[in-house]
Amino acid sequence: MTPRTGYMHIQDDPAQPRYIYSKRNLWSGVLFGVGLAAFIDETIFHQLLHWHHFYDLSTTAVGLVSDGFFHAFSWFATIASLFLFADLRRRKGLWLTRWWGGVLLGAGIFQLYDGLVQHKLMGIHQIRYDVELAPYDWTWNIIAVVMIIVGSILLWRTRRRT
């Protein structure tokens, strides 16, 4: 409700479709963010720059097959998110600010997981080989944390107020 008029604006109405589909907006965005980050990683670092494969602890052939599975996963997440996105638009429940918050959160979590768990904990691949890794690791993980923070801020701003 506005303090001056006492009328509730449609964007403040908890029954409005964007509030009803709040979780769906979030999950569509998270899936898209995960798929997009994985797709960019696969395309740039695996295919174009040839810096690494998804799994580098075996032969090049195994690395290429692992890249194929990784690429399929990224497209599955992206396509699933776009089906949810289209459904939200059809139902007039799309909430772009919340969706973008989910995109940034999903991409950031994926990238931080990749940088900390896959690169450091499991050691299945590094960002790049035969170079000083610290600048690459710090850049990779700082960008991930920034995406998580910005995505969380957007999601916090769109939380449901009762």
Q: What is the pLDDT of residues 102-115, one digit of tens each?
A: 999 999 999 999 99
* DSSP sequence for 15-76: TSHHHHTHHHHHHHHHHHHHHHHHHHIIIIIIIIS----S--SS-HHHHHHHHHHHHHHHHH
* Residue 128 in this model has a pLDDT that exceeds 90: no
The Cα–Cα gap between 56 and 128 comes to: 11
- Going by C-alpha positions, the residue among 146, 147, 38, 34 that lies closest to residue 84 is 34
The Cα–Cα gap between 92 and 98 comes to: 14
* Residue 154 in this model has a pLDDT that exceeds 90: yes
* Residue 11 in this model has a pLDDT that exceeds 90: no
Can you give the residue ranges of every domain in the chain?
26-157
Higher pLDDT, 79 or 129: 79
Position 9 confidence tier, pLDDT thresholds 50, 70, 90: very low
What pLDDT sits at residue 67?
92
What pLDDT sits at residue 91?
92
The Cα–Cα gap between 53 and 67 comes to: 6
The proportion of the chain whose per-residue pLDDT surpasses 90, expressed as a percent, equals: 75
Q: At 109, which amino acid appears?
A: I
What pLDDT sits at residue 10?
45
* Residue 14 in this model has a pLDDT that exceeds 80: no
Computed over every residue of the chain, the mean pLDDT equals 89
Read off the pTM: 0.85
Q: What is the pLDDT of residues 45-87, one digit of tens each?
A: 989 999 988 999 999 999 999 999 999 999 999 999 999 999 9
The proportion of the chain whose per-residue pLDDT surpasses 70, expressed as a percent, equals: 89
Q: Taking the CA atoms of 54, 60, 64 and 69 in sequence, report the sign of the dihedral they define.
A: negative
